[in-house]
Structure 1
């Protein structure tokens, strides 16, 4: 896929407007130069497992919410 884009200058930086189909997912990207080419790649989001592994344990205990409920092996008539 190829498209022609406009280059603009805003507040001293150069801006490239990406046409539909060239959007980069997320809110951050890494840009690098390879000769005359610019390569833009999305920053990979951490996996849910990595996010959860980085969380601190809760400093309090949650109340027991199952009290008074039927167990899964009891049948309601």
Structure 2
């Protein structure tokens, strides 16, 4: 399962600027981490009230069988970063 594609498929319908979605994978000592950045006015949509949407997205991503030997971690960033 391509975790990055899964994250993109879940987040795209939630945002008004899907072209601004940036997913950056990186490996830490404990996790295979994915940093999700969206347009500034879409951050609230992805996080949701009291973080409910973000928690639901994380639940789905963490439940999928990962091709990595490490646990998957999804970080939602406040603002897109430049590559």
TM-score computed with the length of structure 2 as normaliser: 0.28
Give the structure with the higher percent helix. 2
Relative contact order, CA 8 A, sep 6+: which one is greater? 2
Structure with greater Cα Rg:
1
